[in-house]
């Protein structure tokens, strides 16, 4: 199938993660995506380790199925080459600091003059206006500035760095796609495009809905690591096993908690965790620590109580469940003919373009020779 976004042209100036992930999702749904890259070096992600073939495996995962134009945007000839592409584009994605596109003559007002139907999506850390709009930052700064990092930071001696780039993905790429699709739908009605200001920090606050609700409604501000879903309850914690693995225990509802407590043999007087939650948690930790992960895997699976042994990434890839769902069947191929699974993306198979055929990320400037890329 061709995909629901067949015929949609996306011109993508972004690099690294948020914008490229957003345009990857659009490409998976059938859009034609043309990356605009710096001559000589291209997207910074191309140089990231580890390499797979000539370039970064991360670049290959995020940029499969796209085209590449290497243009010097500070050069008039480069900008001239870009003009016909901008004129017929449906979507433009950029990820520069505010003001950079204006200095290049590619700000929204300038491109709208030649293409009033363009959906112009800007992804930044702090947005296009506000006191922090020009501040440098990365994911850790964004989740730190919004308070998200404070909710479960680990202890002071061994603070925990989250394993996921939350702001880039949940605050940047996914909201960008959502708003691009909404803007395209609105354009069908109005005939005009729009400017989308995607601020990654803004979009982190909905992830803390429960913390905001407690604060707004009851003036109860969250205690770091001390709330229901951040480790403050025996019912939502990580418990080490005898062999150094972890049990992810999340039996929040009473029926699951009762099953969990019975399965592990928790003392009757500690099963009502409301009276002495820390005493209950300490005893659960002691019980779990007495047996290896293999024991708890069998016991907890039989109890079906929202408690599982934490998997390594390798174990997760071998899980029969994910294999049965076909997450890692699509092929990615490099210039040497080597193949690896493509990155699973949150587009259901029925709406993807191209099926599971192997596809490549573009070589830098691969489409420069095309007279109409």
Residue 248's SS3 state is strand
Q: Which of 43, 90, 139, 168 is catalytic?
A: 168
CB contact at 8 A, 240 and 309:
no
Angle between helices 18-28 and 174-190 (to 10 degrees): 60
**CA 172 to each of CA 136, 177, 242, 259, 330: distance values in angstroms, whole numbers, following the listed order:** 16, 9, 40, 39, 25
Q: How far apart are CA 211 and CA 225, in angstroms?
A: 12
Q: Which of 138, 272, 298, 304 is catalytic?
A: 138
Regarding beta strands 237-240 and 194-199, do their DSSP bridges make them parallel or antiparallel, or are they unpaired? unpaired
Q: How far apart are CA 67 and CA 255, in angstroms?
A: 53
CB contact at 8 A, 160 and 144:
no
Residue 218 among the catalytic residues: no
Return the closest-CA partner of residue 119 out of 201, 177, 36, 34: 177
Phi, psi of 247 (to 5 degrees): -100, 125
Residue 129 among the catalytic residues: no
List the catalytic residues.
Answer: 138, 168
């Amino acid at each position: 199938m061709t995909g629901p976004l067949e015929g949609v042209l996306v011109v993508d100036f972004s690099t690294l993660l948020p914008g490229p992930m957003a345009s990857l999702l659009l490409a998976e749904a059938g859009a034609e995506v043309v990356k605009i890259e710096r001559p000589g070096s291209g997207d910074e992600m191309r140089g990231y380790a580890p390499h797979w073939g000539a370039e970064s495996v991360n670049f290959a995962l995020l940029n499969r199925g796209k085209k590449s134009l290497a243009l010097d945007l500070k050069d008039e000839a480069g900008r001239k080459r870009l003009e016909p592409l901008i004129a017929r584009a449906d979507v433009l994605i950029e990820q520069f600091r505010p003001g950079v596109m204006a200095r290049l003559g590619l700000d929204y007002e300038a491109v709208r003059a030649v293409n009033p139907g363009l959906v112009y999506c800007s992804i930044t850390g702090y947005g296009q206006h506000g006191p922090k709009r020009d501040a440098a930052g990365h994911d850790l700064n964004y989740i730190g500035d919004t308070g998200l990092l404070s909710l479960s930071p680990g202890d002071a001696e061994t603070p925990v760095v989250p394993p996921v780039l939350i702001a880039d993905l949940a605050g940047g790429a996914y909201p960008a796609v959502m708003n691009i699709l909404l803007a395209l739908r609105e354009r069908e009605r109005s005939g005009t495009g729009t400017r989308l200001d995607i601020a990654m920090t803004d979009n982190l606050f909905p992830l803390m809905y429960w913390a905001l609700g407690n604060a707004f409604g009851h003036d109860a501000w969250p205690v770091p690591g001390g709330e229901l879903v951040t480790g403050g309850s025996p019912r939502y914690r990580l418990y080490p096993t005898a062999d150094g693995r972890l049990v992810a225990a999340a039996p929040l509802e009473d029926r699951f908690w009762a099953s969990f407590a019975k399965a592990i043999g928790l003392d009757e007087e500690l099963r009502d965790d409301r009276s002495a939650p820390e005493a209950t948690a300490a005893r659960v930790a002691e019980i779990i620590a007495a047996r290896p992960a293999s024991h708890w895997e069998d016991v907890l699976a039989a109890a079906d109580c929202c408690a599982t042994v934490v998997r390594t990434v390798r174990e997760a890839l071998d899980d029969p469940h994910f294999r049965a769902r076909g997450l890692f069947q699509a092929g990615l191929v490099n210039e040497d003919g080597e193949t690896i699974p493509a990155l699973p993306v949150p587009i259901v198979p029925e709406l993807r373009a191209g099926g599971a055929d192997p596809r490549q990320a573009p070589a830098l400037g691969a489409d420069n020779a095309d007279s109409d890329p």
